[in-house]
Amino acid sequence: MKIIGTGIDIVETGRVRESVAKFGDRFLHRCFLPDEIAYCQSMKFPELHYAARFAAKEAISKAFGTGIGRQLGWKDMEICKHDSGAPFVKLHGKGAELATARGVTEVLVSLSHSKDYGAASAIVVG
């Protein structure tokens, strides 16, 4: 196993809360997949979970060295949970294509959140 890239990001939960309040579903459906939205909405403070997932997607894009854009979009990455509660990443569309092209076998991710911040780190391995 070889580390191809690493990334880290932190997001203010207040900014996520404001984006949801101002743009609603347009913001959510631009950045998150249906299962991510359903999970976050099921939580007492959805903005904490949205912020951590937003940070995770930014961290993953940094680990790939692309940022969010033409090569890797918001919905090309999905943050899921194992039954144990541990997060894992599913790549879709351009994300899956990029992973195949670079020999990526797994994307490891760790999420954290507090009242004010969501944070994540990602490691792309091959």
Number of domains in the chain: 1
Q: Which domain holds residue 54?
A: 3-125
Neighbours of 46 (CB within 10 A): 18
Q: Which residue has the tokens 């919905």?
A: 75
d(CA 86, CA 40): 15
Q: What pLDDT digit, counting tens, does each position of 66-98 carry? A: 999 999 999 999 999 999 999 999 999 999 999
CB-based contacts of 46, cutoff 8 Å, min separation 6: 20, 40
Helix (H) or strand (E) run with residue 56 in it: helix 46-64
Query: CATH number of the domain that 74 lies in?
Result: 3.90.470.20
Q: Could you give the percent of the chain with pLDDT greater than 70?
A: 100
Instruction: State the pTM of this model.
Output: 0.95
Active-site positions? 62, 113
